Amino acid sequence: MTDFERRSVISGIGQSAIGRRLYRTGLDLTIEAALRAIADAGLTTDDIDGIATYPGSGGIGEAFSGPGTPEVQDALRLKVNWHTGGLEGAAQLAAVINAVMAVGAGLARHVLVYRTVTEASAQGDGGRQGIGAPSGGGSGKAPKMGGSFQWSIPMRAYSAANWLALVANRHFHEFGTTAEQMAMIPINARRNAGLNPQAVYRDPMTLDDYFAARMITTPFRLFDCDAPVDGSTAVVVSVAEHASNVDHPVARVEAVGTALRGRPSWDQFDDGTSMAARDAGAHLWSRTDLTPADVDIAELYDGFSFLTMTWLEALGFCGKGESGPFIEGGRRIALDGELPLNTHGGQLSAGRLHGFGFIHEACLQLRGAAGERQVRSNVEVAAVANGGGPIAGAMLLTREG
Amino acid sequence: MSDQPFRVLPALDDTNRFFWTSGEDGQLRFLRCQDCGYYLHPPLPRCPECGGRDLTPDAVSGRGEVYSVTINHQSWDGGTEPYAIVLVTFPEQEGLRLTSNVIGCQSDDVHIGMPVQVAFEQRDDVWFPLFEPAAS
């Protein structure tokens, strides 16, 4: 097989400052991350001939979207042969996968890919907002809701927390999954974040701390929900030959999972306990000779703790419905366990960099440069997953060099 | 009105008006393919099962079962009382589901497998299809 994936590597990575309320613009943070990633790839801005982001400009709030590719192209005076952005596709990873396709197709040799959020500053001192909820709580007016949101928001299901909680509770019901098991995702994340100087929440968390936090929507408590931050993550996707020009090991792209076979809807998806991760996970393994047993570390999206559990099942690290027992006690997923999971602290503790924190961490671990949290055993293969619910994307990376 | 929570209203148009006003006569309706009998939800211009174009809103019994439930505690809309968000399934078609609320009982009493019956709540020109406990 000469699948397009193996024609590219992630040659450089970079992050801006990351924090709860930096009050810097998205463009400022993006430039910082991009220049670091380009330098890390052994390149200059003159070498970048492609640019991609998720989702970029286009009518969604800028705090969520980050700057669009035209702004970044202009700010860095890039001369690109190819550029793209957008909300659709295999979750946040779609931007990276698009870049891999562009390199594989010969449209570009070095693509700058970034994801930028300023959601913490946008939230300010207020609470987290629901979608379409009235301004000022019940005292305000809310616009009438059309499109797909009309099937959830008018039923006071304002947030992905609510929509996913229905999936989680069905999983609990069918498979006997427990809150104590699910708690291992945030507790493991916090344990790893304690070794990550960039993480926003680093104080140790016990099971009692987890249960003492307030309920958001059953079974999700506060620490099952990720933490909004400001920050930008950038990677450079390069032609595979560039690996030998870089002074560190790089991540070769082994396979991607982009499939969507069920109905892309929170309430109409045929499998009400796994959703779209099922399709992206199965697709990933259809594009490689590697198997789940070959994976050394897993960096699996945790916008909500339960999403990581669906990914563990969807990627075949355990059987369908078995993620609860798989993570029970937390030993197996610890840094020295058989499948180190979300080694930087995930979005639950390192902050909601919205998918890209996972790919950044996978690259760091593959090159053995993750500092105190570096997994000690040889990291050759990393699984990365983004999204969950009705959109999902996955990627398998291997060490090169 | 005072005991009813805030609700965002759906924006009515020619594709969804039948659904959101269906409760005016106490009936819950879904768009249904008259060729193969498939219920389309959300509404579509063509039956995805058989390609049929003869699509008409048809009433269902309004009886269903709680497929999943979450008790929301977060105050998204100014409300402070926990409330039950449910996925309801219907005997008329496997996989046909609605996101809704169960009213008329303590939210903590709502459970998966609970039989429910549609109960409409009217605001302006909209009848929200909510559900209340039903005898099994």
- Rg of chain B taking only CA atoms, in angstroms: 16
- Do A304 and A164 form a contact (C-beta atoms < 8 A)? yes
pLDDT at A131: 78
Q: What is the pLDDT of residues B3-43, one digit of tens each?
A: 789 999 999 999 999 999 999 999 999 999 999 999 999 99
Q: Which of B8, B28, B111, B120 is the best substitution to test chain A (most A C-beta atoms within 10 A)?
A: B8
| Complex-level ipTM | 0.97
CB-count exposure of residue A123 (10 Å: 0-12, 13-18, 19+): middle
Q: Is B74 on the interface with A (CB under 8 A)?
A: yes
pLDDT band at A133 (very low <50, low <70, confident <90, very high): confident
Give me the DSSP letters along A68-125: -HHHHHHHTT---SEEE--S-SSSTTHHHHHHHHHHHTTS-SEEEEEEEEEHHHHHTT
Closest residue in B to A273 (Cα) is B68
Separation of alpha carbons B56 and B108, rounded Å: 37
A3 pLDDT more than 50: yes
| Rounded mean pLDDT, A324-331 | 98
Cα distances from A205 to residues A185, A213, A345, A372, in angstroms, run: 11, 11, 12, 19
Separation of alpha carbons A192 and A199, rounded Å: 9
- Do A70 and A61 form a contact (C-beta atoms < 8 A)? no
Nearest to A115 by CA among A297, A298, A358: A358
Closest Cα of chain B to A128: distance in Å?
A: 8
| Rounded mean pLDDT, A236-253 | 97
- Do B55 and B34 form a contact (C-beta atoms < 8 A)? yes
Contact A152 B112 (CB under 8 A): no
Angle value at C-alpha A236, between A194 and A202, nearest 5 degrees: 10
Contact A142 B8 (CB under 8 A): yes
pLDDT at A59: 67
On chain B, the residues whose CB falls within 8 A of the CB of A143 are 8, 11
The count of CB pairs under 8 A between chains A and B is: 137
A8 forms beta bridges with A239
- Report CA torsion sign: A255, A258, A261, A263: positive
- pTM for the model stands at 0.97
Q: Is B3 on the interface with A (CB under 8 A)?
A: no
Closest Cα of chain A to B45: distance in Å?
A: 14
Q: Is B70 on the interface with A (CB under 8 A)?
A: yes
Closest residue in A to B85 (Cα) is A157
**For the packed helices A305-314 and A160-175, what is the interaxial angle rounded to 10 degrees?**
50
Nearest to A91 by CA among A160, A39, A40: A160
| Rounded mean pLDDT, B56-69 | 98
Residues belonging to chain A: 401
Separation of alpha carbons B102 and B88, rounded Å: 10
Percent helix, strand and coil across chain A, each rounded to 5?
A: 40, 20, 45
Separation of alpha carbons A276 and A282, rounded Å: 10
Mean pLDDT of chain A: 95
pLDDT band at A220 (very low <50, low <70, confident <90, very high): very high
Alpha helices in B11-116 (DSSP H): 17-21
Contact B97 A161 (CB under 8 A): no
Q: Is B86 on the interface with A (CB under 8 A)?
A: yes
| Rounded mean pLDDT, A39-54 | 98
Contact B112 A169 (CB under 8 A): yes
Closest Cα of chain B to A161: distance in Å?
A: 9
Q: Which of B68, B112, B130 is the best substitution to test chain A (most A C-beta atoms within 10 A)?
A: B68
Q: Which of B20, B40, B65, B76 is the best substitution to test chain A (most A C-beta atoms within 10 A)?
A: B76
pLDDT at B1: 41
pLDDT band at A136 (very low <50, low <70, confident <90, very high): low
CB nearest to A162's CB, from B10, B70, B126: B70
A392 forms beta bridges with A387
Closest Cα of chain A to B78: distance in Å?
A: 4
Give me the DSSP letters along A376-394: SS---EEEEEEEETTEEEE
Contact B10 A154 (CB under 8 A): yes
Helix (H) or strand (E) holding A217: strand A215-217
Share of chain A above pLDDT 90, in %: 92
Please tell me the least confidently modeled range out of A53-67, A170-184, A371-385. A53-67
Contacts of A205 (CB under 8 A, 6+ apart): A186, A187, A190, A191, A223
Closest residue in A to B126 (Cα) is A154
- Rg of chain A taking only CA atoms, in angstroms: 20
pLDDT at A126: 78
pLDDT at A130: 78
Query: Residue A165: how many CA atoms within 13 Å on its side-chain side?
Result: 26
Q: What is the pLDDT of residues A271-308, one digit of tens each?
A: 999 999 999 999 999 999 999 999 999 999 999 999 99
- Do A18 and A229 form a contact (C-beta atoms < 8 A)? yes
Provide the residue type at A248 as one letter.
Answer: H
Give me the DSSP letters along A281-342: HHHHHTT-S--GGG--EEEE--SBHHHHHHHHHHTTSS-TT-HHHHHTTSSTTSTTSSS-BS
Angle value at C-alpha A212, between A159 and A120, nearest 5 degrees: 45
DSSP A145: B
Q: Which of A166, A175, A261 is the best substitution to test chain B (most B C-beta atoms within 10 A)?
A: A166
A120 pLDDT more than 60: yes
Separation of alpha carbons B29 and A117, rounded Å: 41
Helix (H) or strand (E) holding A209: helix A207-212
Alpha helices in A222-322 (DSSP H): 277-285, 305-314
A152 pLDDT more than 90: yes
- Do A66 and A25 form a contact (C-beta atoms < 8 A)? no
Q: Which two tokens stand for residue A9?
A: 């590597």
DSSP A292: G
- Do B111 and B92 form a contact (C-beta atoms < 8 A)? no
